[in-house]
């Protein structure tokens, strides 16, 4: 988990519009960020299962599949329903033109991939998934492989952290442009796994004022002389610990010792 801004969904949509006005193709940048993540974390030629949904998150996944095929990865691409957004339809046409086979159903009995890339639903999901999607997500979760979610795990409300009937249980989430609070609180923290932020080369000048920020660990070590010891820095008295209430005193003592 790295530091980074938190934006509301409305502010994030304004940022996306501003980026489009500056001719920044966020979908292609997201796809390349996903491909670069795979290159960093998986050996060359690892077999991949790329799951693309009907919206822009599916477009991210399809463009990522094209980039990863160029890098030598064997691919199975799943898109269960037709593309619904203009950007996803364009990505689908480009994938088909490039000869990428796209399946409508998850094949039975196929060996599990080295990595599943989840691009079924993004942060715009605001309603419970219907039973067919819930069943598919349940099947995908049962696959014995690592899972990377693009932007947020499919089926998870990225702002409340609540699954919408079912959600991909990801080992890693590569989220785009800003952090979303639902990836860090409530059930969402378990569904999201390890979260990384990709800013997609979006200029800082386009960002609205952040509405929150993740805590960042101090970048500098403690400013202490090497020739020193615990007696050089004073002492701490901790008052607390009523019967059954020792936890806070213990935590404070351990922090002071550290």
Tokens of 237: 């008295």
Task: Identify which of 52, 9, 46 has the alpha carbon closest to the alpha carbon of residue 31.
Answer: 52
186 neighbors 210 (Cβ within 8 angstroms): no
Per-residue pLDDT, averaged over 227-234, amounts to: 79
Pick 176 or 1 by higher pLDDT.
176
For residue 108, is pLDDT > 90? no
Rg (C-alpha) for the chain, rounded Å, is 22
For residue 56, is pLDDT > 80? yes
pTM of the model: 0.83
Say how many CA atoms lie within 13 Å of 223 toward its Cβ.
Answer: 0
Tokens of 44: 């060359």
pLDDT of residue 58: 97
For 46, 107, 111, 165, 253, the CA distances from 49, given in Å and listed in that order, are 10, 11, 11, 23, 49
Task: Identify which of 215, 217, 214 has the alpha carbon closest to the alpha carbon of residue 6.
Answer: 214
86 neighbors 56 (Cβ within 8 angstroms): no
What residues are paired with 103 via a beta bridge?
78
Set out the domains of the chain in order of their start, with CATH numbers: 5-213 (3.40.50.10260)
Pick 198 or 127 by higher pLDDT.
198
Cα gap 118→52, rounded to integer Å: 7
Cα gap 92→3, rounded to integer Å: 34
For residue 212, is pLDDT > 60? yes
Cα gap 35→153, rounded to integer Å: 17
The burial class, CB within 10 Å (0-12 / 13-18 / 19+), for 206 is middle
pLDDT of residue 220: 58
Instruction: Determine which of 26-35, 131-140, 145-154, 180-189 has the lowest per-residue pLDDT on average.
Output: 180-189
Torsion of CA 194, 200, 205, 210, to 10 degrees: -20
Per-residue pLDDT, averaged over 36-59, amounts to: 96
15 neighbors 7 (Cβ within 8 angstroms): yes
pLDDT in tens, 117-141: 999 999 988 789 999 999 999 999 9
Percent of the chain beyond pLDDT 90?
A: 78
Q: What is the mean pLDDT of the chain?
A: 92
Tokens of 179: 């952090």
Tokens of 99: 């000869």
For residue 219, is pLDDT > 60? no
34 neighbors 51 (Cβ within 8 angstroms): no
pLDDT of residue 2: 58
Residue 257 φ/ψ, nearest 5 degrees: -65, -40
pLDDT of residue 216: 67
191 neighbors 156 (Cβ within 8 angstroms): yes
Cα gap 180→150, rounded to integer Å: 13
Cα gap 179→195, rounded to integer Å: 9
For residue 222, is pLDDT > 80? no
The pLDDT confidence band at residue 221, using thresholds 50, 70 and 90, is low
């Amino acid at each position: 988990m790295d530091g980074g801004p938190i934006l509301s969904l409305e502010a994030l949509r304004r940022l996306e519009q501003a980026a489009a006005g500056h001719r920044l193709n966020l979908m292609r940048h997201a796809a390349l960020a996903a491909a670069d993540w795979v290159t960093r974390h998986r050996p060359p030629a690892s077999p991949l299962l790329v799951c693309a949904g009907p919206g822009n998150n599916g477009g991210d996944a399809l463009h990522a599949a094209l980039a990863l095929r160029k890098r030598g990865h064997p691919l199975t691409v799943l898109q269960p329903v037709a593309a619904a957004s203009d950007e996803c339809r364009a990505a689908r046409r480009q994938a088909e033109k490039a000869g990428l086979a796209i399946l409508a159903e998850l094949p039975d009995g196929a060996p599990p991939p080295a990595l599943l890339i989840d691009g079924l639903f993004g942060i715009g999901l605001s309603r419970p998934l219907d039973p067919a999607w819930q069943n598919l997500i349940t099947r995908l979760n049962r696959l014995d492989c690592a899972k990377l979610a693009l932007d947020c795990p499919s089926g998870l409300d990225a702002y409340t952290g609540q699954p919408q009937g079912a959600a991909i249980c990801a080992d890693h989430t590569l989220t785009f442009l800003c952090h979303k609070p639902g990836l860090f609180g409530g059930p969402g923290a378990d569904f999201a796994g390890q979260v990384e932020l990709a800013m997609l080369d979006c200029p800082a000048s386009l960002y609205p004022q952040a509405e929150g920020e993740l805590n960042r660990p101090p970048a500098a070590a403690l400013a202490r002389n090497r020739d020193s010891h615990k007696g050089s820095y004073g002492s701490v008295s901790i008052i607390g610990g009523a019967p059954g209430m020792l936890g806070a005193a213990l935590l404070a003592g351990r922090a002071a010792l550290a």
